[in-house]
Structure 1
Amino acid sequence: MESWITGSKIVILEEDVTVENVIDQKINEQMDRDLTDAFHVADLGALVDQHLRWQRALPRVKPFYAVKCNSSKPVVQILAQMGMGFDCASKNEIALIRDIGVAGERIIYANPCKESSHIKYAASRGVQILTFDNEDELYKIAMNHPAAKLVLRIATNYSPPQISLSEKFGATISECGHLMECAEALKLDIIGVSFHVGSACTVLEHFTHAIADARIVFDMGIHLGFHMDVLDIGGGFPGSRDDKVIFEELTALINPALDIYFPEENGVKIIAEPGRYYVTSSFTLAVNIVARRIITNSQSSSNDEEAENTKTIMYYINDGVYGSFDNLSQFRDLLKPTLYKKDFHDQKLYRTRVWGPTCDANDNITDVWKLPELKIGDWLLVQNMGAYTVSTLTTFNGFDGPTAHYVISKKAWETVQKIKKRNESPA
């Protein structure tokens, strides 16, 4: 069964059809045409599962999905149907989300440093909430979107996460008073505070520290007469159950901190900007081994068995760091390669180097996977490929990125429709 949401093809799977069945079908279709192109299969039901999990674990926090993480239209459409807000960082992201029917009040323009023309565009499309972290940004906003509702982003300069953002964005607490006074002089309206502890944060206390710091800045704004009613706790939430930090471990600290510093009776609207959390586990990548090289130490050893045990196999696959693996250097330990329709465990494993298809020597995907001796034409499946993959693809060296096929189980599709209907019902 197929469904179309504003031009996006999503296949609704019957109850006895699995994602694995879809992968089988796509590989067989390619083999029938003598093709071996890489492709993604996106299980949009995983988005639904993650959304329900979020609502259970963070009931006070409304998610505004970070579009940059995966901007494919079916993904944002499913999330929109479930009532999500959206964190946009550019004119084009705002256009994408507005054009699928999302109202401007469900968007936060969360890039602290924006082009003037993009600020004007946000105003023209009804986007009111903008983030800032410096004085020059305030002057740009005053000229191009004076009616904006502003959120002041603060830095979280604690011990660094895997990917730190506070080197690039965020005002220190000592700078916040001056920035608020500047906004007041420009007759701009500050409504809240935001932070981002960094992608894949593994130190749970960073969130609680940042929430406490946000309270300090909140009180500064209230003292200056601003109506402060929005707290944005950013992103950094784990996207896979194989992450070092489990989502529920994190929320077990966040919820008490919110209750202490921003109790529910104060009426503060709490939002977040998850990206990786929602989409990481939803995409599976199928790649083909297009070439290989076997390197042995036979020249330095007279023992054939010893040489066999120390050989390295280099595999070249038809996707690489200029494609789906572009932003995964910090997360390759979470990638789980499996051999299509075969099991690794009963085979001898070798030291392996895996390369992408381009002629660039930097197109090295990993040197840590242990793989058996595979043949040209074998398929590998890689899970947890939904975040910063399809949204960062390039065509470097003339190689197109993998095609994506979008599926959802009938049960998950029905759940989306129920959530949509409930959200549309009068309060």
Structure 2
Amino acid sequence: MRAAVFLAWALVAGTSGVPSPSPTPACPSGPFTRESDVLVVVHDAGESLGLQPPVEALLAAGYVVQALVLGEPATSLYCGSGLGTRGLQVLTLPQLGVDVEVLDGNTSRHQLLAPGQVASVVAQLAPRVLVTGMVYSMQAQIARGFRSDEAVYRVGFDDGFALWSNATLTAREFVEPLTSVEEVFVTAESIAEGIQALSTGAVVTTVTGSPTLNSWRSVAANQSQLEATRSSIYSQFPSLDSSLPLLVFAGGYGGSDYTASLEVFCNATVRLLHDLAFVFAPHPGYPSDFEASLFDTWGCGTDGNLVVLDNGDGSGSACGANDAWCTTADLVCASNGSLSEASTVGGQSLSVGRPHTYVSHFSDVFTEADLILNSPSVDSLVETLNITFRSQGFYVSPTEFKSAGVPLHASARVVARILQVISFSSVGGGGGMMMG
């Protein structure tokens, strides 16, 4: 029988063909103040996790920071981050008097507030710098709500590595024809060039890289913890052969392309029964019931070389003894490589020397630089994992990362630019509204 971890409250996927979000945990938060130095507005997992390292650094430096979390998985990721105990003000729309249920991104990314609701949010918040994710129409709408307030500098945070396209929601609602921000933080040089061309220079771009890479590299540097994580996985799931290389599939949101990638992955694990061991890690904020039911239907994992982990509090997977929680970074860094349909885990994995492949035709700055291969079929995936990865010794030099135009040390770059803006906006060039 397939080895898997399921908690009693895990939501069962419905008939929509997509995973269901995890429930919201209790949420520690710093005391509310109308004025702040920085307000981040987050919805999906990538931007939520990407902004946490800069937020942590700003809090440590004494700045007042707020996070407006728009539904899941942002709420679980920020409430479970511990940042609220360090002063971060974690805010929801209902707390601001806006009684609306934010739709999950799988349902729609185009949900909007009523004009009066936007005005209510804006009236209660007075940040110097607003940093918003760029995957959700409501985020663009809220950013535009601050447009008339010249004291607020609006920055978009594009956390992905996908090639820039003028046809996306990110382009249309944040850059042109709707311009919702003055500046965009991007992960790579080619993305900045795309924004500059679309906006004809009207929107400033800053190439920061991805702050999540800082977190991943810190995890990878803790060798004793990696060994403990790997050991706990094998001890909890004895069906996995510890003599085989271990690979992690990083789960996604859902949709037909995602389901197709899961089926390719499933069939490849059967072909590679005696060659490789596999762990499926669900997308942060989602349980794995959806994927587990598909794997059962397709008949993979029954021979023991695939285990399916489950999210508990929305921020990690049960991966070790005593229900220890592991983030995707913990799992990938403790493994020999990773794969996904089209996840930012691809670039994150490369940054710590672990090879990655997309089980799809997805293109990004790393496929363009020939650092990540596409493996959309069972045959191509088997070849990539068992021949190409093996020939590389399951290793990619992190120094090759630069060829994709993605700088490292992104958290420092993001924080430095935010503080520069705060300094410019302060009377007399001060350092922002410091906490006493």
TM-score band, normalised by the shorter chain?
Answer: 0.3 to 0.5
Q: TM-score, normalised by structure 1?
A: 0.34
Q: TM-score, normalised by structure 2?
A: 0.34
Larger radius of gyration: 1
